[in-house]
Amino acid sequence: MNVVFLSPGYPPEMNHYTRGLAEVGANVFGVGDSHPGGLSPEVKGALADYLQVPRIMDERDVTERVAAWLRGRSVDRIEANWEPLVLLAARLRERFGIPGMSYDTVLGFRDKELMKQRVAAAGLRVPKSARCRTVAEVWAAAEQIGYPLIVKPIAGAGSADTYRVNDKPEMTRVIKLTVHVPEVSVEEFVDGEEFTFDTVCIDGKPAFENVAQYLPRPLEARSHEWVSPVICTVRDMLQPKLRDGIRLGHGVLRALKMGTGFTHMEWFLKSDGEVVFGEIGCRPGGAHLVDQMNHTCDISLFREWARAVCWKTFEADTTRKYNTAIIFKRAKGQGRITRIEGRDEILRSFGKHVVWDNLLPLGAHRRDWKQTLVSDGFLMLKHPDWDTAIRMANTVATDLVMYAG
């Protein structure tokens, strides 16, 4: 099994998928713009060969270089788990006649307006929205849909360049902030709790499923620096509260003709019980969500994803044992981390439940919290009881304080 894997060393979590492919017996041919010398030992040990390209986002150039590099070699799969490269992977599959999702199918997971059109055509509830390329189109969409609104990139990932807009003055400000974005989606703001629906699919059917809750919603967490965002996977996925959201997720997979691989969807549960589709990507969730899912079931989805794409099988036990919470921290002040308060007390109280302490060390420079959800590090903990897991997560969010200066 020969697999071309795009950008095996960046972002850093791609290291684990590269290793996963090797662990299930694949010969991994990496393509990326990182220098070979900069690849981690984990990646180097998993690769059968590596092609460095000048610009991994340059679809035409990468395609021609890969064609020359592969000449005379057979390839069975071409995969990408980083959002900006899923369309390139599809284009390469079509160019070389490799099995997998087509460019048009993957476009339905990447273009947010096309995505909503296809989901709505299947009779599923999506937010009212419009594709906008000009300022005039943005104003027209706002007039038609009504405030409050969400403005976000058509081809974005996560919550980057995403804003809630409550009125015309705020729209004026947001238009200035998004002037660099070629196309935006202007859509209805859906008020409710926000969850994920994550899968590893084999020919469109989930071999693994996950639901996690955002506390608070990502847009709110991104708007206030003082917030310590929490994401918690849900151990009990059979509870009535989640039933319609999971059913919605299954419908979305069918509507978008999902093939084999990871999906990461977001959906809303309104106070009246209605569930509304948010968006979906044909790639894994970021910000260590896959690590959370691994701890939830005590498995390796890095390896099981690889097994699914290579061999169309999934061998791990998917019994859900824990609710696993990640709590992202943002230091007070600017500059370098000077002290961390509350950490020792939390580790004494919850230590056996903490599975990962990844806070920035003293002396490290603060990260830009607007550019990365991981911010200044995180704690990850797990517990079989939901209320206990959330209580511990909230304690970390409020009582652990990092300072910079």
Residue ranges of the chain with per-residue pLDDT less than 50: none
Q: Buried (b) or exposed (e) across 105-134, using 16+ Cβ within 10 A? A: bbbbbbbbbbbbebbbeeebbbbebbbbee
Quick one: pLDDT at residue 169?
A: 93
CB of 358 closer than 8 Å to CB of 327: no
For Cα atoms 198, 203, 207, give the angle at the middle one, nearest 5 degrees: 45
- Give the integer Cα–Cα distance in Å for 106 and 102: 6
Q: Which DSSP letter does residue 189 get?
A: P
**pLDDT digit string, tens, across residues 28-61:** 999 999 999 999 999 999 999 999 999 999 999 9
User: Hey, is 16 helix, strand or coil?
Assistant: helix
The Cα 47–Cα 124 span in angstroms is 42
The CA–CA distances, whole Å, from 75 to 43, 88, 158, 261, 363 equal 19, 16, 31, 18, 47
Structure tokens at 18: 């590269």
Q: How far apart are CA 54 and CA 65, in angstroms?
A: 10
Domains of the chain: 2-100 (3.40.50.20), 128-188 (3.30.1490.20), 193-404 (3.30.470.20)
Predicted local confidence at residue 157, as pLDDT: 67
The percent helix, strand, coil of the chain (3-state, each to 5) is 35, 25, 35
Among 154, 129, 159, 156, which residue's Cα sits nearest to residue 144? 129
- Contact by Cβ (8 Å): 234, 217: no
Cα of 163 vs its chain's centroid, Å: 18
Q: Residue 4 contacts by C-beta under 8 Å, 6 or more apart in sequence?
A: 29, 30, 31, 66, 70, 75, 77, 78, 79, 92
Q: What is the pLDDT of residue 143?
A: 94
Residue 234's contacts (CB-CB under 8 Å, 6 or more residues apart) are 195, 210, 211, 212, 213, 242, 323, 386
Q: What pLDDT, on a 0 to 100 scale, did the predictor assign at position 161? A: 85
For residue 160, what are its two tokens? 């980057």
Contact 267, 276 (CB under 8 A): yes
Nearest-10 crossing angle of helices 103-110, 112-121: 100
Is 132:186 a contact under the CB 8 Å cutoff? yes
Count of positions (residues) in the chain: 405
Structure tokens at 353: 């439940």
Q: 46: Cβ–Cβ under 8 A, 6 or more apart, which residues? A: 8, 18, 19, 21, 22, 28
Q: pTM of the entire structure?
A: 0.93
